[in-house]
């Protein structure tokens, strides 16, 4: 049984401006726009970060869930931690066993995609999504990823950053939140060097930290595998995203350069 971090989703007010930030600071190239998100009153774009993805969704209608979430968190913000699993049927059963409701059940055998979004009121933290790719080669590391379309590989650019190595979920009380996610993921908690509770996925870490910015509980940051720190920082200064030599601000996230 395995689980990998495959995609991070954020919700932002200005998709064009945020896309310029992502392209300039992280050196990423947009690969896909999903017309299906219109049913939720959203538009989106995805950028490959190595074999993972950063998605930005923007409300295009009034009273959307994404828009309400931005209002609660005071602007652009992390929105979803999206993982790839080898057996989503087992994950559905585990969620039911724990009394975790499904916010959205995605069963699309015709496209080779089967997935669940867990209800954030039951998980805490942020949206926690688990997807299985059931098409040929779907289990391979860096294999097909239906949410990014069928032709994302030519758009991969790794000169500046090569992957996402952690997601940072913040809470005024991170310990019980981390235990809840540990129960759901069926992975024991560990600690990082700072004493924060962590969950080790196959290719990344979920890190739970005390709310550092007063924005409350949510997906606050990511770690990126940095290939060219000087270029990232130059782009951050050009786009007014510079925080420090180890951190930039992109798409409502604290992006830590590792």
Over residues 42-56, the pLDDT tens digits come to 999 999 999 999 999
* Mean pLDDT, range 191-208, rounded to an integer: 98
Please, are residues 125 and 217 in contact by the beta-carbon 8 Å criterion?
A: yes
| CATH class of the domain at 3-155 | alpha beta
CA atoms within 13 A on the CB side of 65: 13
Fold of 161-257: 2,3-Dihydroxybiphenyl 1,2-Dioxygenase; domain 1 (3.10.180)
Please, are residues 3 and 187 in contact by the beta-carbon 8 Å criterion?
A: yes
Over residues 120-137, the pLDDT tens digits come to 999 999 999 999 999 999
Over residues 61-80, the pLDDT tens digits come to 999 999 999 999 999 999 99
- Three-class SS of residue 174? helix
Percentage with pLDDT > 70 across the chain? 100
Q: What is the pLDDT of residue 177?
A: 98
Residues 10, 15, 19, 25: what is their CA dihedral angle, to the nearest 10 degrees?
A: -60
Buried/exposed code over 164-187 (b: 16+ C-beta within 10 A; e: otherwise): bbbbbbbbeebeebbebbbebbeb
Token readout for 17 is 């401006």
Compute the Cα dihedral for 77, 3, 223, 122 and give only its sign: positive
* Mean pLDDT, range 191-195, rounded to an integer: 98
Give backbone dihedrals phi and psi of 16, rounded to 5 degrees, phi first: -65, -50
12: pLDDT confidence band, cut at 50, 70 and 90?
A: very high
- Three-class SS of residue 13? coil
Q: What is the pLDDT of residue 176?
A: 98
Domain residue ranges of the chain, discontinuous segments joined by +: 3-155, 161-257
* Mean pLDDT, range 217-244, rounded to an integer: 98
pTM for the structure as a whole: 0.97
């Amino acid at each position: 049984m395995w689980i990998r971090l495959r995609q991070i989703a954020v919700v932002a007010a200005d998709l064009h401006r945020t896309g310029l930030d992502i392209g300039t600071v992280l050196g990423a190239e947009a690969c896909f726009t999903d017309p299906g998100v219109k049913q939720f009153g959203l538009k989106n774009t995805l950028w490959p970060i190595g074999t993972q993805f950063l998605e930005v969704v923007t409300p295009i209608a009034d009273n959307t869930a994404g828009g309400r979430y931005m209002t609660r968190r005071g602007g652009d913000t992390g929105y979803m931690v999206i993982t790839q699993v080898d057996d989503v049927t087992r994950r559905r059963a585990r969620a039911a066993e724990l009394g975790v409701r499904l916010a959205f059940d995605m069963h699309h055998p015709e496209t080779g995609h089967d997935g669940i979004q867990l209800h954030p009121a039951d998980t805490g933290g942020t949206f926690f999504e688990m997807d299985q790719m059931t098409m040929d080669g779907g289990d391979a590391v860096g294999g097909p990823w239906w949410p990014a379309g069928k032709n994302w590989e030519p758009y991969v650019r790794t000169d500046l950053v090569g992957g996402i190595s952690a997601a940072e979920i913040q809470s005024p009380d991170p310990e019980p939140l981390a235990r809840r996610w540990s129960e759901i993921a069926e992975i024991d908690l560990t600690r990082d060097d700072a004493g924060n509770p962590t969950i080790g996925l196959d290719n990344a870490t979920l890190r739970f930290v005390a709310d550092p910015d007063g924005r409350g509980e949510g997906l606050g940051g990511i770690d990126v595998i940095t290939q060219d720190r000087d270029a990232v920082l130059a782009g951050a200064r050009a786009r007014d995203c510079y925080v420090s030599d180890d951190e930039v601000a992109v798409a409502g996230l604290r992006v830590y350069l590792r």
